[in-house]
Amino acid sequence: MLTLIQFPWSPFCITIRHILKRHRIPFRLHNIAFHDRAPIITATKGAGYTVPCLVNGKHGICDVTDLGQEVARYVDHRYQLDLFPKRLDGLQLILSRYLEHDLETVGFKVNDTYVIPKRPLVERTMLIRHKERKFGKGCVREWTSHRKDLNSQFVELLQPIDDMLASSPFLLTDRPLFVDYNLYGVLENYLFNGKTKLPALKHLRRWHRAMAHVN
């Protein structure tokens, strides 16, 4: 059976978790603290240290490139899910960059302001250290004070997605592809804290209900 090593709130972990769930692929969850990468390093024999990490027997795989899709492509290939149809490679790449570089960058900041303060002391401190090394001293406090503006930005960034969904049940076809799961992961990260709500965008909400459903 597969094992998914994850942080529960990670948008990229949520993406893989939901692919597995919707396709009824059996798996176990292994939640780790943010600063404890030993299970990943051991599973990948030092080849990686990021989540999500999927372990199949003695083989561990995690994303290692900038726009990491290695784990998703592994699952797609192994179970023949056809989440990456060749004819749509270009569009999926463009959309994935928008979702992960624009939308997720705003969404995770909102969620972090709720999640980080509730983590145990050592993990909380290591999370803050990680964020401050990347975004500057006091960044989490700054995001907290600008939470309203970040929420507004998030809605604005979702408007083009809602426009796309006005004429299609899913982002690119009549069934979910990788980008749909990618978007779902970003949205569920934003909603993870229980304090935020899905924006009042009609087509996005219809799409979200369809994506959340597991047969």
Q: Are residue 155 and residue 52 in the same domain, yes or no?
A: no
pLDDT digits (tens, 9 = 90+) for 117-153: 999 999 999 999 999 999 999 999 999 999 999 999 9
Enumerate residues 6+ apart whose C-beta is below 8 A from 162: 201, 202, 203, 204
pLDDT digits (tens, 9 = 90+) for 194-214: 999 999 999 999 999 999 998
Q: Do residues 201 and 156 touch, judged by C-beta distance below 8 A?
A: no
H-helix or E-strand spanning residue 71? helix 70-79
Angle formed by the axes of helices 147-165 and 202-212, to 10°? Answer: 80
Q: Are residue 129 and residue 173 in the same domain, yes or no?
A: yes
H-helix or E-strand spanning residue 6? strand 2-6
pLDDT tier for residue 66 given thresholds of 50, 70 and 90: confident
Measure Cα distances from 123 to 47, 55, 126 in Å.
Answer: 23, 24, 5
Per the structure, the count of domains in the chain is 2
Of 79, 97, 117, the domain-final residue: 79
What residues make up the domain containing 72?
2-79
Average pLDDT over the chain, rounded to an integer = 97
